[in-house]
Amino acid sequence: MTLANVNATHITDFATSDGKQQNSTIINETPVAISIDEINYAVMMITPVDIEAFIVGFLFTENIIDSFSEIKDLTISKTQIPNINSTGLLANVALIGRKLSQFKHQHRSRLGKTGCGICGIESLDLAFPNIERRKDKKPKSIAELDTMFLNTARSIMERYQELGKTIGGIHGAVVLNEKGDVECTAEDIGRHNALDKAIGKQLIQRKTIDHCFCIMTSRCSAELVQKAARANLAGLIHLASPSSLAVEMAKHAGINVVHIPKVDLPRVYA
């Protein structure tokens, strides 16, 4: 696999309200154009760290692959973005024969953006496919969740969000197993991307994410529940409130959704 090296941060000038010129380090937002066997598939806006993990996780949550072994090769290169003085990324994924045939059959073009993971999808049926209820286990009760890691979730996130602590302006995801041990961490300017990166890291390491929990800095959106269901996560623990649709979908899927306020007690929505 060939991977491009791109910085996660960018130094830029700014002026304060009193007219003084200074500089600041901010999070890098970079477009990555993903092709599958040279067929254009999606353009996503990401923070260019753990790029391989993002692509693997994204293809998994898009139902294009079921495991890392179904990717024959992955090439990531830099490209100049037309009309602006900035760098983008080109990623081409080679799939094994069976998966390539399936992809060509279901292929559709889409444009992905930082704030919305379903932009460009043509119908509600495609945007919200049927979600199967979690296999094997029931959602945890409030008592079970409380004894696991609800009271320490915010401190766990603060400990592992490296870019968030130093730069800000970025979402974090920390995957915990049922014992509360950290399996992997990820950060990205897009909350959906952060979860994709975490899922992708587990897939690349051939480690299961089944029945794990994911702490996230963002609100819980419907698409995050979709991705969690696809990965068979047991629950999503968020530092901001969930949306109504996310709660409805989580109840249907048998996934815990929890909000950890800064001051009040944890709120278990599903």
**How high is the pLDDT of residue 107?**
73
The answer to whether the beta carbons of residues 30 and 46 sit under 8 Å apart is yes
Q: 87 - beta bridge partners?
A: 80
Topology of the domain covering 9-127:
Ubiquitin-like (UB roll) (3.10.20)
> Of these residues, 116, 119, 184, 220, which one is catalytic?
116
Chain-centre distance of CA 161, in angstroms? 14
The boundaries of every CATH 3.40.140.10 domain in the chain are 142-268
Q: Where are the alpha helices (DSSP H) in the chain?
A: 51-61, 97-106, 124-127, 142-148, 153-160, 162-166, 191-204, 222-230, 244-253
E strands, the chain, are: 9-15, 21-27, 30-36, 39-46, 71-80, 87-95, 110-111, 171-176, 182-188, 213-216, 235-238, 256-259, 267-268
Q: 90 - beta bridge partners?
A: 33, 77
CA-CA distance, 225 to 61, in Å (whole number)? 11
**How high is the pLDDT of residue 219?**
93
pTM of the model: 0.87
CA-CA distance, 270 to 254, in Å (whole number)? 8
Topology of the domain covering 142-268:
Cytidine Deaminase; domain 2 (3.40.140)
List Cβ neighbours of 209 (8 Å cut-off, separation of 6 or more). 175, 183, 198, 199, 202, 203, 231, 232, 233
**How high is the pLDDT of residue 5?**
60
Please state, in angstroms and as integers, the Cα–Cα distance from residue 29 to each residue in 10, 35, 44, following that order: 9, 19, 10
The boundaries of every CATH 3.10.20.10 domain in the chain are 9-127
Comparing CA positions, the residue from 267, 219, 268, 251 lying closest to residue 134 is: 251
**How high is the pLDDT of residue 85?**
82
The answer to whether the beta carbons of residues 38 and 119 sit under 8 Å apart is no
Comparing CA positions, the residue from 240, 237, 222, 235 lying closest to residue 117 is: 222
Q: 46 - beta bridge partners?
A: 30
The answer to whether the beta carbons of residues 65 and 36 sit under 8 Å apart is no
> Pairing between strand 213-216 and 235-238?
parallel
* C-beta neighbour count of 77 within 10 angstroms: 12
Q: What is the pLDDT along the chain (270 residues), one digit of tens a residue?
A: 656 666 777 677 667 777 778 777 888 899 999 999 999 999 999 999 999 999 999 999 999 999 999 999 999 999 998 888 888 999 999 999 999 999 988 775 444 444 555 555 555 555 666 666 666 666 777 667 766 677 788 899 999 988 888 888 899 999 999 888 999 999 999 999 999 999 999 999 999 888 899 999 999 999 999 999 999 999 999 999 999 999 999 999 999 999 999 888 889 998
**How high is the pLDDT of residue 167?**
85
Task: Decide: residue 75, CB within 10 A, 0-12 exposed, 13-18 middle, 19+ buried.
Answer: middle
**How high is the pLDDT of residue 123?**
57
CA-CA distance, 52 to 48, in Å (whole number)? 10
**How high is the pLDDT of residue 110?**
47
State yes or no: is 184 an active-site residue: no
